[in-house]
Amino acid sequence: MENEISKEIERLQIQIGCIIRLGRLKKGLSQLDLALKFGSNSTLIGRIERGETISGWDKIYILIKALEIKINDLFILKSKDELLNIVADSKKLEQKLTKEKAKYYLSLQESIKELFE
């Protein structure tokens, strides 16, 4: 049971990051643009988007309000295919898809697949 919950939490962290990244890219904002918009820094935005950290809920809430994301979209666990589609949509919206970013997206896709095994 505990292992299942920790996997769900990990999925949730990745999901929140993916949804926030997609919302930012849909608005045509860089991480720095978004950070400046709500008085933070791009490092924090990057860590949230990569699922490395879940910041204070107040910051997450401010972010999703700025990006016009519904709070329910963050916390209702998505299926593997839904998450992979979010990642694919984000990758398509990247204006400067460097080798490093392409490698990150591939790694993210693999991480998502592993979480559902």
Inform me whether the pLDDT recorded for 6 exceeds 80: yes
Inform me whether the pLDDT recorded for 7 exceeds 80: yes
Domains annotated on the chain, with CATH: 2-115 (1.10.260)
In percent, the amount of the chain with pLDDT more than 70 equals 98
Short-list 50, 62, 37, CA closest to 87: 50
- Tell me the average pLDDT of the chain: 90
The sign of the torsion formed by the CA atoms of 46, 48, 49, 51 equals positive
Each residue of 37-80: pLDDT tens digit?
888 888 989 999 998 876 677 888 888 888 999 988 888 999 99
d(Cα 114, Cα 26) in Å, to the nearest integer? 27
Tokens of 89: 């949509």
Helices (H), the chain: 2-26, 31-37, 42-49, 57-67, 71-75, 80-93, 99-115
Inform me whether the pLDDT recorded for 87 exceeds 90: yes
Each residue of 11-23: pLDDT tens digit?
999 999 999 999 9
Inform me whether the pLDDT recorded for 91 exceeds 80: yes
In angstroms, the Cα distances linking 32 to 15, 29, 42, 70 are 21, 8, 5, 22
Q: Cα dihedral angle (19, 115, 77, 81), rounded to 10 degrees?
A: 70
Model confidence band, residue 8 (pLDDT cutoffs 50, 70, 90): confident
